[in-house]
């Protein structure tokens, strides 16, 4: 696998060339504004101290405070957080929210920590970075293996050090801690708004359009249910153990079967498929909503879907992306398709800094036009330069960042 930050820079160069980006801005955008590297000493339950490595990359804040999650994972690295913070800059700018790009992480297998060790680690991480975060500086959020509860500990530690409340300093909190209504389904709902616009452009009729969804978590589960509500034919779904396929898939029965047996497989009237097979099914729309690097140069030529909606982050490798383009597959990139999540984190931030509380109806009434406008602008950019949707999203986003950097 390539270095993710090198991949990000290749994407930057590609967009810069198409849009004829000012060379000084291009050069500046090759580097994060600031990267914090901190040691995180944690007193373990046995009394011994274990030291973890933590990072926070603040890529660019031309459009607003840095924004992005904090990941707890063994594979976290300096280059990974730099790349992820670059992609957050692109994602926020693609949907035109006034936030910059940031990302953080700790190298840790959090499953090996007790809850009290996890809490102490989260608090020490904040003690190390607190002077460089805040609602007007840098706004962390959850990412892989971090949760609303962890965000609550982090905000509590931050406000203790700061000496006053600043609830907008961290988003993705539980509702009781100042989180936003609608956040749970926002990413899926945002993806559905995008699918609706795409269907208009491509002339897809829901009742005649089949969909396979990989992943049944927060994103894939809700996405399937909302699309089905729109009349789409969901014919395949999977979780980490595998999936099922049927022209007449009954979603209620599927979710019930998963709850009862712990798996979606062996549901009566369906055919078991592996996760690899699900990607290659003869469907109209494929929705990867589980993990990164699922569509690679090894399976890309077996993909039969005409449209791929990237709800997971980074499900398509750069080599596969190039081949999909040659094969005429329309790929809605992650920075657009799943941006309903960060847009709703921004809404949480707005509510916190203005001391307001919106209902779910109010949140979605703001999310829908935001996603539709972003889709239309990316589509126009694609037409203007005759490029794919991913490159168009990068061009549109970098245009916005660059125009603010000129001031």
Catalytic residues: 103
Candidates 62, 219, 378, 393: give the one binding ligand NAD (CB under 6 A).
219
Nearer to ligand NAD, 142 or 178 (CB): 142
What is the three-class DSSP state of 147?
coil
| 313 binds ligand NAD per the rule CB under 6 A | yes
* Window 278 to 307, contacts with ligand NAD (CB under 6 A): 289-291
| 180 binds ligand NAD per the rule CB under 6 A | no
Candidates 96, 218, 272, 299: give the one binding ligand NAD (CB under 6 A).
218
- Angle among Cα 137, 142, 146 to the nearest 5 degrees reads 130
Nearer to ligand NAD, 95 or 216 (CB): 216
Pairing of strands 242-245, 271-273: antiparallel
Nearer to ligand NAD, 169 or 309 (CB): 309
Nearer to ligand NAD, 154 or 216 (CB): 216
Query: Which string of x and - marks every residue 187-216 that binds ligand NAD (by CB under 6 A)?
Result: x--------------------------xxx
* Window 96 to 115, contacts with ligand NAD (CB under 6 A): none
Q: What are phi and psi of 140, to 5 degrees?
A: -70, 170
Q: Is 77 exposed, middle or buried (0-12, 13-18, 19+ CB in 10 A)?
A: middle
CA–CA separation, 279 and 381 (whole Å):
29
CA–CA separation, 247 and 356 (whole Å):
46
Nearer to ligand NAD, 57 or 313 (CB): 313
| 40 binds ligand NAD per the rule CB under 6 A | no
| 7 binds ligand NAD per the rule CB under 6 A | no
Closest CA to 1 of 105, 72, 85, 79: 79
Query: Which string of x and - marks every residue 340-379 that binds ligand NAD (by CB under 6 A)?
Result: -x--------------------------------------
The beta strand positions in 147-260, using DSSP E, are: 210-214, 233-239, 242-245
Q: How far is CA 300 from CA 206, 211, 297, 323, 329, in A?
A: 25, 17, 5, 7, 10
Number of residues that this document lists for the chain: 407
Binding site for ligand NAD (CB under 6 A): 187, 214-220, 238-240, 275, 289-291, 311-313, 338, 341
């Amino acid at each position: 696998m390539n270095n993710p930050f090198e991949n990000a820079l290749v994407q930057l160069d590609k967009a810069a060339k198409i849009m004829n980006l000012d060379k000084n801005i291009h050069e500046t955008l090759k580097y994060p504004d600031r990267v914090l590297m901190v040691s995180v000493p944690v007193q373990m339950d046995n009394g011994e101290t274990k030291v973890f490595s933590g990072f926070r990359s603040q890529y660019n804040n031309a459009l607003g405070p840095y924004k992005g999650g904090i990941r707890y994972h063994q594979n976290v690295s300096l280059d990974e957080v730099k790349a992820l913070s670059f992609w957050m800059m692109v994602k926020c700018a693609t949907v035109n929210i006034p936030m910059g790009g940031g990302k953080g992480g700790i190298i840790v297998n959090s499953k090996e920590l007790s809850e009290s060790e996890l809490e102490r680690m989260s608090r020490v991480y904040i003690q190390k970075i607190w002077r460089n975060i805040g609602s007007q500086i840098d706004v962390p959020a959850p990412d892989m293996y971090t949760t609303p509860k962890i965000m609550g500990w982090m905000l509590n530690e931050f406000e203790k050090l700061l000496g006053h409340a600043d609830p907008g300093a961290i988003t993705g909190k539980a509702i009781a801690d100042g989180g936003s209504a609608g956040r749970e389904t926002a990413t899926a709902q945002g993806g559905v708004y995008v699918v609706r616009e795409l269907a208009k452009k491509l002339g897809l009729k829901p009742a005649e359009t089949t969909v396979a969804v990989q992943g049944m978590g927060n994103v894939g589960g809700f996405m399937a249910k909302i699309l089905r509500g729109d009349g789409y034919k969901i014919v395949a779904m999977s979780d980490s153990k595998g999936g099922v396929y049927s022209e007449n898939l009954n979603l209620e029965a599927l979710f019930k079967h998963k709850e009862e047996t712990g798996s979606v497989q062996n549901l009566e009237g369906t055919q078991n498929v592996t996760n690899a097979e699900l990607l290659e099914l003869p469907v109209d729309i494929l929705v990867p909503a589980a993990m990164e690097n699922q569509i690679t140069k090894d399976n890309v030529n077996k993909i039969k879907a005409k449209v791929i909606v990237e709800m997971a982050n980074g499900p398509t490798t750069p080599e596969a992306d190039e081949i999909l383009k040659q094969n005429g597959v329309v790929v809605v990139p992650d920075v657009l398709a799943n941006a309903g999540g960060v847009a709703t984190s921004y809404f949480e931030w707005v509510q916190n800094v203005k001391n307001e509380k919106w209902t779910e109806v109010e949140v979605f009434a703001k999310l829908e036009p935001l996603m539709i406008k972003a889709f239309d602008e990316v589509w126009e950019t694609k037409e203007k330069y005759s490029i794919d949707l991913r490159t168009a999203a990068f061009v549109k986003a970098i245009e916005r960042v660059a125009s603010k950097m000129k001031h």
